[in-house]
Amino acid sequence: MTPVIEVQNLTKTYPDGTQAVRSISFHVEEGEIFGFLGPNGAGKSTTIKMLITLLRKTSGDMRIMGLDVDANPDAVRRLIGYAAQEVGVDDDLTARENLLLQGELFHMDRNTLHRRTDELLNLMDLAGDAHRPAGSFSGGMRKRLDLATGLIHQPRVLFLDEPTTGLDPQNRANLWVYLERLNKQENLTIFLTTHYMEEADKLCQRLAIIDQGQIKTIGSPRQLKQEIGGDVIILRFANNGQSVAQQSEQAQTVLGDAPFISGIDRFDEGLNVYTRNGGEAVADVLRLLDARGLRVAQLSLSNPSLDDVFLKHTGSKIRDEAPMQNWRNVRGGPFGRRR
Amino acid sequence: MNTTTASAGFALRRKPGAFINETWSLYRRAITKLARRPVILYFSLVQPMVWLLLFGQIFERIARAPGFAEAFGGQSYLAFFAPAVILQTILFGAGQSGLGLISDLDSGFLSKLLTTPINRLAILLGKILGDMTRMLMQAVIILLATFLAGLRFGDGGLQMTITYAYGLPGILAALGIALLFGLMLAGLNVTVALTTRSNEATFLISNFLTLPLLFTSSAQLPLEFLPGWLQAIAKVNPLTYTIDALRLLLYGPSSIPAGSNAGSVIGSALLILLALASIMLLAGARSFRRVTK
């Protein structure tokens, strides 16, 4: 069967010479939720804009349902729905008017359009507020309306650029439920970009880790985490006469020879140490470091997370933005198990 | 648009009326937005009323001064000034055309429109037609207020002090010229807005142009009342041509400068406005295409 999205060696170089996307290849199967996980500036939005016909590629091949995107932009537009990071609804129009306008632009016939509008208002739990202007909606409701307007013409694939950026944790988790519902009830293929690991972990059946315009690895979240194997001990150092970098380097040398350690990755504030049984290894790790006079400022032990996968493939940690911070403080802390 | 045969096995053909339908949908959106913001509508109507009645009163005596009446075409200053208020309102309001596009650009609404299979120009056209509708409403209301302010109780009851030389056809033609002027400004503002992509800059530039354009024309006073250097500027100001055409169509040949020929006043106004409007609209469409590429 033809994949819904097929991308081969896609490249985008901006006129100023910036190579935003460097020869990436991937495919998305029907009914899949597929994600691009990467930091801001990794090339996620550029890729999505090329796929939804808003930006021209420099080279490579993009197909949606077998159609060459650049050669058939209008045909592709009928097959895709899109919700940008910004909420693209008209605040002066009611929820219903927003949906009807969008449907009219797809030249849907009246009956189908009205039936579909009711269907989406129900699906997104907006039926009770259908006659209120979108400007009076909460952030979560506006986002749901935005999703609905992107779905009015029953697209085969929905593109979401950072769907939950700017939402508080509760609304974010809420939106995930709606996305999963759409995926199941409408057998909708979803392509999304995110820099929230938790989102990628929770929603995506498969994901690509993207950094500096390149895909570093592709797989299901579980697969990717299993590749790391065992547990992760995260060591953080603080400046104490010796710089963090120096301490990290020394620690890496000391621990590098230990037989119970399967791998080490460095990040700005310290090290990720991979081991089969973290609980047993912690004491040994500390003893080895102590013998060299290295003091660990903070230590945590966890199962591998996508953050660790990211570090392993890119050499740096992905930085979550503010809203996630709250969750981290609640769930983990020094010496606690992370999310 | 060509017929696109998709390899997925279906043919897509754009229907001939598609562009009109798309423009109509987006025009309706513009009108709905206008109606939902009564404050904007209200103030865009109240402000010209204030101008009309205040200025109309302040200068009323000048138009009645001995020897001056002829320069004002024998009309009251209010009548003389009304076409100027219409154009001034259009000038002040034209910035809105650009501002709406910028907010669509910023809000992501435009991106959403661009992922629909519509003709790109329908977006621009729907917007501009919406603005023209607002301008038309404003112009009609100003004309109506002028008419009402011109009514007097005399011997035989209610009397009109303003004479409309060509009746309704003249008034409709004057509205047409005013709209053409508005179209030119909408094109200009769209170009400025899409080039600067900043609300503040668009607003500043459109306001910066408004007053100098008004004061270097025959809007406030007949040309012969202006100092020589200003007259020279006024003679190349498109506003002067537009306003002369409006006065002629409303009040007849006595309202235009002595010695000018009615046909050439209308002809030159149409020519200048059509040329400028085409240039501005092409520039607007060009910058729109650049933004939406």
Q: In Å, how far is B20's CA from the nearest CA of chain A? A: 11
Single-letter amino acid code for the residue at A85: Q
Beta bridge partners of B11: B5
Q: What amino acid is encoded at B34 in this protein?
A: L
Instruction: Domains for chain A: give ranges and CATH numbers.
Output: 5-219 (3.40.50.300), 227-331 (3.30.70.920)
Q: Is the pLDDT of residue B5 over 70?
A: no
d(CA A224, nearest CA chain B) in Å: 33
Give me chain A's average pLDDT, please: 87
Confidence label for B172 from pLDDT (cuts 50, 70 and 90): very high
Residue type, A332: G
- DSSP string for A201-244: HHH-SEEEEEETTEEEEEE-HHHHHHHH-SEEEEEE---SSS-H
Give the pLDDT of residue A335: 35
User: Is the sign of the CA dihedral B129, A132, A145, A44 positive or negative?
Assistant: positive
Q: Which chain A residues contact residue B33 at CB under 8 A? A: 90, 92-93
Which tens digit of pLDDT belongs to each residue from A118-140? Answer: 999 998 999 999 999 999 999 89
pLDDT at A62: 96
Q: Are A303 and A228 in contact (CB under 8 A)?
A: no
With a pLDDT cut of 90, the percent of chain B lying above it is: 37
pLDDT > 90: percent of chain A: 53
When the pLDDT of each residue in chain B is averaged and rounded to a whole number, the result is 85
pLDDT score, position B293: 66
B70: amino acid identity, one letter: E
Average pLDDT over residues A201-211: 93
**pLDDT band with cut points at 50, 70 and 90 for residue B9:** very low
Tell me: pLDDT of A197 over 70.
yes
Segment B140-148 shows an average pLDDT of 90
Give, as one character, the DSSP assignment of residue A163.
T
Q: What is the mean pLDDT of residues A310-323?
A: 68
Lowest-pLDDT choice from A250-254, B15-19, B153-157: B153-157
Closest-CA distance of chain A to residue B121, Å: 13
| ipTM for the whole complex | 0.84
Angular region, A25: left φ>0, alpha ψ -120 to 50, beta rest: beta
The mean pLDDT of B190-207, rounded to a whole number, is 86
Q: Which of B4, B107, B116 sits opposite A106 (nearest CB)?
A: B116
| Residue A319: band (very low, low, confident or very high) from pLDDT cuts 50, 70, 90 | low
B13: pLDDT confidence band, cut at 50, 70 and 90? Answer: low
How far, in Å, CA of B122 to CA of B116, rounded?
A: 12
Per-residue model confidence as pLDDT tens digits over B214-234: 889 988 888 888 888 999 999
Question: Is the model's pLDDT at A309 over the cut of 80?
Answer: yes
Q: How many CA atoms lie within 13 A of B181 on its CB side?
A: 31
- Residue A140 β-bridge partners: none
Which of B7, B32, B116 is the closest to A92 by Cβ?
B32
Q: Convert the pLDDT of each residue in B83-138 to its tens digit.
A: 999 998 888 877 777 888 888 988 889 989 999 999 988 999 999 999 999 899 98
Q: Are A332 and A300 in contact (CB under 8 A)?
A: yes
| pLDDT for residue B207 | 80
The whole-number pLDDT of residue A183 equals: 93
- Which residues of chain B does A83 touch, with a Cβ-Cβ cutoff of 8 Å? 112
Mean pLDDT of A14-42: 93
Which tens digit of pLDDT belongs to each residue from B267-293? 999 999 999 999 999 999 999 888 876
- Above 60 in pLDDT, residue B8? no
A321 pLDDT more than 50: no
Under 8 Å CB pairs connecting chains A and B tally to 95
Cα nearest neighbour of B18 on chain A: A107
The residues that bridge with A210 in the sheet, in sequence order, are A215
- In the predicted model, is pLDDT for residue B262 greater than 90? no
Write out the two tokens for B139: 């112009």
Indicate the pLDDT class of residue B165, thresholds 50, 70 and 90.
confident
